[in-house]
């Protein structure tokens, strides 16, 4: 899964839960971006590159989600 796919899936979850989700590309360095999901934050790597299993798990943990949620 790449960054764009993750964002698409997180948007669906946010809509279902009624939570706000924003992406701030100015807040990250280089190709990184900051994603806020409700009141939680995480950093997303390059949106076009694959996200490894460990990093994905860590990002979801930062957002208070489980892999089964996506």
Chain segment 29-64, per-residue pLDDT in tens: 778 889 999 899 999 888 888 999 999 999 999 999
Q: Which residues of 37-47 are buried (b: 16+ CB within 10 A; e: fewer)?
A: beeeebebbeb
Q: Is 3 a residue whose pLDDT tops 70?
A: yes
Please report the beta strands in the chain, taking only residues with DSSP state E, as ranges in sequence order.
21-24, 33-37, 40-44
pLDDT at 41: 93
CA distance 41 to 24: 11
The pTM score is 0.84
Report helix, strand or coil for 65: coil
pLDDT at 28: 64
Give the residue-averaged pLDDT of 13-40: 88
Domain spans, the chain = 3-69
CA distance 68 to 49: 22
Say which CATH class 3-69 falls into: alpha beta
């Amino acid at each position: 899964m790449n960054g764009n796919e993750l964002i698409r899936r997180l948007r669906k979850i946010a809509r279902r839960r009624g939570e706000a989700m924003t992406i701030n590309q100015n807040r990250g360095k280089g190709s990184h971006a900051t994603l806020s999901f409700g009141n939680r934050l995480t950093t997303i790597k390059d949106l076009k590159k694959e996200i490894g299993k460990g990093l994905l798990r860590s990002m979801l943990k930062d957002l208070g989600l489980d892999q089964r949620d996506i």
